[in-house]
Amino acid sequence: MKKILLVDDEPNIIMSLEYTFKKNNFEVFIARDGQEALDILKTEQPDLIILDIMMPNVDGYATIEAVKKDEKLNACKVIFLSAKNKESDIEKGMKLGANAYMTKPFSIKKLVEQVNVLLLESD
């Protein structure tokens, strides 16, 4: 069973994501901001992280930087899922080491496809 970490400060968005990935046989972890995510990552090594950018406390950028520094998480894929949809935002996200960048509002179907593609690559 693949592990997935969902990081977003909007409860209703989390709710949809959680439902979808549980249905697709993922083990789902949930964090409401970057800080919570990093706390979870101390003990868990998910296969993939879906990461919002604009969040209180620790934002998505800071979170991915921490993830990339952590050797235990070398294999972990990251997808940014953000309402920031400018070219420069996407560029910045990819530079920081994300494997994919999807803008909000997003298609659930496409997100699941993207996740599957990334996980297939790593296998």
Partner 1 sequence: MNSIGLLLIVLVYLGLLFLIAQWAERNRNSKWTNNPYVYSLSLAVYCTAWTYYGSIGVAADSGLNYLPIYIGPVIAFPLWIVILKKIIRISRVNKISSIADFISLRYGNSRFLGALVTVIALLAIIPYIGLQLKAISETFHIVSQTSESTNIFFDTSTYVAFILALFASYYGTRYVDASEKRIGMVTAVAFESVLKLFFFIILGLYVTFYVFDGFADIHNQAVVLEHFEERNTIGGLEGAVNWMMLIVLSFFAIFLLPRQFHMSIVENNRERHVQTAIWLFPLYLLLFNFFIYPIAWGGNILFDGQGMNSDMFSLLIPQSRGNEFMTVLVFLGGFSAAISMIVVSSISLSNMLSNNLLIPYGFLGSLQKDNQERNSSRIMRIRRIGIFSLIILSFLYYRFFIMDFSLVSVGLISFVIVAQLAPAFFGALFWKRGSLIGAISGVFVGFSICFYTLLLPFFLSSLNPDSLFFKEGFWGFELLQPFQLFGLNYLDPVPHALFWSLFFNLMVYLAFSVSFKGNYRERNYAEMFVDIDKYITNHENAFVWKGTAYVSDIEKVLKRFLGEERTNRALHLFKMKYNIAPDNLMADARLIKFAENLLTGHIGTASAKILIDGVTKEDKISLPEVLKILEESKENITINKKLVETSNELKQLSGQLKEANFALLVKDKQKDEFLDTVTHELRTPITAIRAASEILHDDEDIPEAMRKQFLQNIISESDRLNRLIDKILDLEKFETGKQKISLTEQDIITTIANSIRPLQQLISNKKIYLEFNENQKAIKLYFDEERMIQVITNLVSNAIKFCDEKEGVIIISLQNNDTEYSIHIFNNGKGVNPNELEAVFEKFYQSSDQTIKKPIGSGLGLAICKQIIEAHKGKIWATNVEKGVTFSFTIPKQLID
Binding site for partner 1 (CB under 8 A): 9-10, 12-13, 15-17, 19-20, 23, 54-57, 83-84, 104-109
Give the residue from 57, 44, 55 showing the smallest Cα distance to 5. 44
Which residues, 6+ apart, have CB-to-CB distance to 62 below 8 Å?
Answer: 34
User: Token pair of 88, please?
Assistant: 């420069």
User: Can you tell me which residue has the tokens 């960048």?
Assistant: 101
Helices 108-122 and 11-23 cross at an angle (nearest 10°) of 60
The conformation of residue 97, written as its DSSP 8-state character, comes to T
Nearer of residues 34 and 76 to partner 1, judged by Cβ: 34
Q: Which is nearer to partner 1, 54 or 117 (CB)?
A: 54
Shortest distance, position 99 Cβ to partner 1, whole Å: 21
Smaller CB separation from partner 1, 3 or 104:
104
Minimum Å distance from CB 90 to partner 1? 15
Nearer to partner 1, 20 or 45 (CB): 20
Please, what is the minimum distance in Å from the beta carbon of residue 122 to partner 1? 25
